[in-house]
Amino acid sequence: MPKPIIIDCDPGHDDAIALLLAFAKPELVRVLAVTIVAGNQTLEKTVNNALKVLSFAGVQCEVAAGYDRPLMRPLEIADAVHGESGLDGPDLPEPTFAASKRHGVQVMIDQIRQCKEKVTIVPTGPLTNVAAALVGAPDIKQNIERIVLMGGAAREGNWTPAAEFNILVDPEAASIVFQSGVPITMIGLDVTHEAQVMASEVEYLLNSGNRVGVMVGELLEFFGEFHQTMGFAGMPLHDPLAMATVLDPTIVETKHLPVTIETQGLYTTGRTVVDFYGVTGKEPNVDVALKVDRDRFVQMVIDAMLSYGR
Ligand code: BDR
Ligand code: CA
């Protein structure tokens, strides 16, 4: 039986690939809805990007716009990574369907309440929508199987020395989610920086003759430009790794540890503070991913992209 999931995202190059990965595997996951948050770009752009990518791939689903800013802070975007549109690179046609008229948070709440099985939430952007749903409708917790999120890091940050982008943008929301009591798997930079797709693999997609494969190759070419300037050998597939973990949890190795979110640090706001040695005395609340099988993961992504149109 495919697992029911809700994808909460801010496309974004890697979010787009995470979406395509999910929709390529209907035998493993059933996407109840795609809810959108502001993050990599403004909400208007991230919504449009989700619609464009799904339309291009010929899949349809309820896509609902959620929050256009963090709970308590001004929005910080990542246009240096994702460009002016939030999805620079390929020339994608306009979407063939429109976004839902309902608010993304309401869609998330309704879908979880209505679903006969427990729902897995896969957030790949700032946690604003997820936090709002958990605070607004705490009853949904009992029908959430797990939150498998891309965000945070036990080691280095990427947007500040201490913090990863998704957590940094809305640390108050992250704090609510991490304290919610819902089981959490944290796919952070510790594993996503090890989950890089290399130039030769991007070349393979570009030469595949498969229109989705080529489009993803073009996304990765653009995504690679920023990462090259940062000294990366390839392109870290952050968000697809969270999705891959839902499809096949053995792709990463995790450790159950206490994690808290720094919301007030002078230099460390947005840090996911991981207590490896139990020095805080807090109960473990998060399965922190610490190792990834890169080769198996990248092959899974490539095969999924090339499965479109077959
Ligand atoms: C995260 O930040 C965004 O730019 C990416 O889409 C990913 O979700 C990585 O830090
Ligand atoms: Ca993202």
Per annotation, catalytic residue among 82, 227, 238, 256: 238
Q: How far, in Å, CA of 176 to CA of 100, rounded?
A: 26
**For ligand 1, which residues put their CB under 6 angstroms from it?**
12, 14-15, 40, 78, 81, 124-125, 150, 158, 164-166, 238-239
At 133 the three-state DSSP class reads helix
> What are 77-121's pLDDT values in tens digits?
999 999 999 999 999 999 999 999 999 999 999 999 999 999 999
Stretch (H or E) spanning 212 = helix 211-229
- Cβ neighbours of residue 231 under 8 Å, at least 6 residues apart? none
Which atom of ligand 1 is the closest one to the Cα of 236?
Answer: 9
| C-alpha 16 – ligand 2 centre gap (Å) | 8
CB atoms within 10 A of CB 252: 26
At 238 the three-state DSSP class reads helix
Would you say 262 and 268 are in contact if contact means Cβ atoms under 8 Å apart? yes
CB atoms within 10 A of CB 266: 6
Q: Is 80 exposed, middle or buried (0-12, 13-18, 19+ CB in 10 A)?
A: exposed
Q: How far, in Å, CA of 232 to CA of 234, rounded?
A: 5
pLDDT beneath 70: ranges in the chain: none
Pocket test for ligand 1, best of 40, 49, 127 (most atoms within 8 A of CB): 40
Q: What percent of the chain has pLDDT over 90?
A: 99
Pocket test for ligand 1, best of 239, 243, 245, 272 (most atoms within 8 A of CB): 239
| C-alpha 257 – ligand 1 centre gap (Å) | 23
Can you say whether residue 206 is alpha, beta or left, with left for phi > 0 and alpha for psi between -120 and 50 degrees?
alpha
Using alpha carbons, select from 265, 268, 272 the residue that is nearest to residue 288. Answer: 272
Which atom of ligand 1 is the closest one to the Cα of 165?
Answer: 10
| C-alpha 156 – ligand 1 centre gap (Å) | 14
Q: What are the respective helix, strand and coil percentages of the chain, to the nearest 5?
A: 40, 20, 40
List phi, psi (to 5°) of 65. Answer: -75, 130
Using alpha carbons, select from 188, 156, 163 the residue that is nearest to residue 73. Answer: 163
| Secondary structure letter of residue 83 according to DSSP | T
At 257 the three-state DSSP class reads strand
CA angle 199, 201, 202 (to 5 degrees): 65
Q: What per-residue confidence (pLDDT) applies to 310?
A: 79
Pocket test for ligand 1, best of 10, 49, 220 (most atoms within 8 A of CB): 10
CA dihedral (163, 130, 195, 63) in degrees, to 10, reads -130
| Secondary structure letter of residue 76 according to DSSP | -
Q: How far, in Å, CA of 144 to CA of 91, rounded?
A: 37
Can you say whether residue 157 is alpha, beta or left, with left for phi > 0 and alpha for psi between -120 and 50 degrees?
beta
At 215 the three-state DSSP class reads helix
* 238 assigned to active site: yes
Q: How far, in Å, CA of 37 to CA of 48, rounded?
A: 12
Q: What per-residue confidence (pLDDT) applies to 277?
A: 97
At 265 the three-state DSSP class reads coil
Q: How far, in Å, CA of 309 to CA of 145, rounded?
A: 32
Token pair, residue 169, equals 């943008």
Token pair, residue 249, equals 């949890």
| C-alpha 2 – ligand 2 centre gap (Å) | 24
